[in-house]
Amino acid sequence: MTFGVLALLVAAGLIGPALSSVHRATPPAVVGEIAAGLVIGVSGFGWIDPSTPTMDTFSNIGFAMLMFLVGTHVPLRDPAVRPALARGALAAGTVMAISVVAGIGLQGITGLHRPAVLAVLISTSSAAVALPILQATGRTDMPILITISWIAIADVATVLCLPIVLATGGLARVVGGGCIVIGGAALVYVCGRLVRSQRSVRELREQSRERGWALDLRISILVLFLLAWLATRFGTSILIAGFATGVAVAALGEPRRVAQQLIGLGEGFFVPIFFVVLGARLDLGAIGHAPRALVLGGLVLASSVAARSIAARIWRLPVATALLAAAQLGVPAAVVSIGLHNGQLTAAQGAAIMAAAVASLGVCAAGAAMLGGPRVLTDHAAPPDRSPET
């Protein structure tokens, strides 16, 4: 990869914020980033080759950073959510049960003969998109808390299931690799809790803050890359590594400056490159030769909304919360990225799945408007401060 190609990728990533700044009703920046990738990639002028090893490496780092940031949105440290966890789990479980049935029924119609993948696509939610909207409402009534726990549980469950349903090798190896990565993240959390109260560690972190060493950020990235290495070494997805690292960091409670550094490193460079490269891989022209792909995208979106609407009705939640829970981003992007790379999805199917994910953001925006929340959807930035500045 030359610096010219790298400059082109960064410039394409700027299209997202540029489009999102035009009007308050515009979609998140990720939509513009994917669209820019379409223009410079396979579907457009072909200025970049997304299949090169270097491009693949940058994209994988961006993918890991994306899932890292998604993991930081899991509200582990929010005591207000705990009383709502049971009903949230029931709502998420209801959607998952419906999704399994829908996945089995839709495989013949859509042409994607992978019912488990369809079930994951239908049942997943995006905590990174929906939770900031719910938190911005300032409401702490039970339906809102249930919805927060519902979305978080659905996000975590589908992230953990994804490497299994997309496994190309032995299932035992994939599950074992996932357990090793999750165990590594748990060890990082335990060690972090043990050492952060030590006087020498506090003094070192204070020096880092004063002298600009960014030690917390460096250690977070080191852990991310080590777990990503373990994931690839033991045959599971770097999705698990990124998400588990983000959850561990969220559980420890990173200071605001670390959150801002993560936004700068992830959102400012690697994550936009991931979405631009993902857009460059999509072949919209293939949909014209595979009309069933349009059916796939439409039915995934419709089934997702229907499953959540049924769950909301069963558990007596406002329909607006069902629409908010329909927001999807990280998991569909992971399905497409991994599926195209491993040959488990056709180009048309990948484009249709991403189109459905983008459309789900519009559904989420409608739910936000009904709920009285912000109409401008965020992407996947790190969450607000969870601990005092250190």
pLDDT at position 16 over 90 = no
DSSP state, residue 198: S
DSSP state, residue 242: H
Which residue is associated with the tokens 């899932």? Answer: 67
Residue 390, pLDDT score: 43
Query: What confidence category does residue 27 fall into, taking pLDDT thresholds of 50, 70 and 90?
Result: low
Residue 76, pLDDT score: 67
Q: What is the mean pLDDT of residues 227-239?
A: 85
- Which range of 79-93, 347-361, 375-389 scores highest in mean pLDDT? It is 347-361
Name the architecture of domain 50-278+285-371: Up-down Bundle (1.20)
Residues 81-114: pLDDT tens digits?
Answer: 778 888 999 999 999 999 999 999 999 899 899 9
Question: What is the number of other CB atoms lying within 10 angstroms of the CB of residue 197?
Answer: 8
Q: What is the mean pLDDT of residues 350-365?
A: 89
Residues 6+ apart with CB under 8 A from 347: 42, 282, 283, 286, 340
Residue 117, pLDDT score: 94
Q: How far is CA 388 from CA 48, 171, 191, 257, in A?
A: 44, 43, 20, 10
- Angle of CA points 83, 89, 92, to nearest 5°: 140
pLDDT at position 296 over 90 = yes
Residue among 85, 94, 103 at smallest CA distance from 310: 94
Residues 6+ apart with CB under 8 A from 295: 109, 110, 111
pLDDT at position 384 over 50 = no
pLDDT at position 382 over 50 = no
- Lowest-confidence segment of 127-136, 209-218, 226-235, 377-386 by average pLDDT: 377-386
Which residue is associated with the tokens 């999750």? Answer: 182
Residue 387, pLDDT score: 47
Cβ distance 378 to 365 under 8 Å? no
- Lowest-confidence segment of 3-12, 181-190, 210-219, 252-261 by average pLDDT: 252-261
Q: How far is CA 284 from CA 117, 141, 302, in A?
A: 21, 43, 21
Q: What is the mean pLDDT of residues 133-156?
A: 84
- Lowest-confidence segment of 66-70, 222-226, 244-248, 378-382 by average pLDDT: 378-382
pLDDT at position 124 over 90 = yes
- Lowest-confidence segment of 125-139, 264-278, 285-299, 372-386 by average pLDDT: 372-386
Tell me the average pLDDT of the chain: 84
pLDDT at position 140 over 90 = no
Which residues in 266-275 are b (16+ Cβ under 10 Å) and which e? bbebbbbbbb
Q: Rounded to two decimals, what is the model's pTM?
A: 0.80
In the chain, the percentage of residues whose pLDDT exceeds 90 is 29
Higher pLDDT, 31 or 13: 13
pLDDT at position 73 over 80 = no
